[in-house]
Amino acid sequence: MNAPLAPAELAGRRLVLALSGGVACYKAAELLRLLVKAGAEVTVMMSEAAQQFIGVATMQALSGRPVHVTAWDEATPNHMPHIALGREAEALLIAPASADLMARLAQGRADELLSLTALARPRERCALLLAPAMNREMWSHPATQRNVAQLRADGAEILGPDHGAQACGETGEGRMLEPPALLDAVIAHFRPKSLAGCELLITAGPTFEPIDPVRGLTNRSSGKMGFALARAAAEAGARVTLVAGPVHLPTPAGVLRVDVQTADDMLQAVLPRAQALGPQGVFIATAAVADWRPATLAPHKLKKNGKKVPPQLELSENEDILARVAALPAPPFCVGFAAESEHLEAHAREKLVRKKLPLVVGNLGPATFGHDDNSLLLVDAQGAAPLPADGSRADKRVLACALVAEIARRRAAWLQP
């Protein structure tokens, strides 16, 4: 069965992508392609300097729309593209945003198309997103930092910059974020902030319980669902800490990551943080934590040495992290995950009752481990409901956003006196 297509997360969104001068203009073509692929309707405008780095024809071909390059565009109604474009867009994304352009924006100057449009846009419904790109010395200069602070105070969102190799041959901060990171930032901008101000702690991935210095007990959890939830929660405005077992996944933007190996490592990382959350916080236990660990760790690799009888492993039970958190004197809103191979609702309900949880999210482990899609079953004291509602499979990012919205709704009701 083919997995569902990745969601068009910007479907119907109207954006203006503006390019000021800089070598990073070459990244704008890929950014434009990603925005359009995500469903956005993108109109491009380019400064005179930007046209020295990338051609108008390229951006027009990728957007499928005319590219605006002058404030005197006769094709625009009333010859006022800076008015018309700002009225039509939900966000003005300037990428790259040069030091010179940001200085003009901070001062409220309006002497060319990009700054005119930024100044004339209806601020309450057209956001200003800036992706700085410049030499490290230019970025760190006090004048630039004053301008950035002023732009933030005026309501602009500053996306980046990144740290890395620069066109001048130097290395440092000032490099424009890569197109996928900018796409994620734009998607996050449009997400409802249903968890604004909330502290959220989440576990993800497997644990690894060593038998000897080489081998260990683990499971097939990829961590993808937990990482998708961490990203969705951050996009919903939460301050997210992700405690991750041994997985090879990039950390979602805006998320604090703590890497662990064993179940005990995870317990030690989670408990003090969960205690600090209190009833206002949220704890989501998506990690597939090993129930058992070897009672002793062999100091060296266990060898066959021609023996036909395998070594006998004595196992000790790991502590139940979710149960410990739920039993705190002032626990956060706790969400458990039940990865089962059969009788999903029955096992999920047993976990709900035994650990005294407000919500358990069930899924069939063999059908989801390592996959990019999944289907969930939400189990609470009132009953059970599938997610998606029709019981089909959906992309884990889609499921994560829907589940975060559901958790936010339930948390709000849980906090009511």
Active site residues: 168
The token pair at 362 is 């069930």
What is the per-residue DSSP string for 16-49?
EEEE-SSTTHHHHHHHHHHHHHTT-EEEEEE-TT
Ligand-binding site membership of 265 (annotated): no
Smallest CA-to-CA distance from 333 within 400, 396, 409, 245 is with 409
Residue 37 assigned ligand-binding role? no
Tokens, residue 143: 């004048």
The span from the CA of 232 to the CA of 397, in Å, is 8
Identify which of 93, 80, 116 has the alpha carbon closest to the alpha carbon of residue 40. Answer: 93
308 is in an annotated binding site: no
Which residues face 16 on adjacent strands?
43, 92
Q: State yes or no: 337 annotated in a binding site.
A: yes
What is the distance between the alpha carbons of residues 364 and 106, in angstroms, rounded to a whole number? 53
Kindly give the pairing relationship between strand 14-19 and strand 91-97: parallel
347, 296 Cβ separation under 8 angstroms: no
Q: How far apart are CA 60 and CA 40, in angstroms?
A: 15
| 355 annotated to a ligand binding site | yes
Question: Annotated binding residues for CTP, as ranges?
Answer: 291, 301, 337, 351, 355
Question: Annotated binding residues, as ranges?
Answer: 291, 301, 337, 351, 355
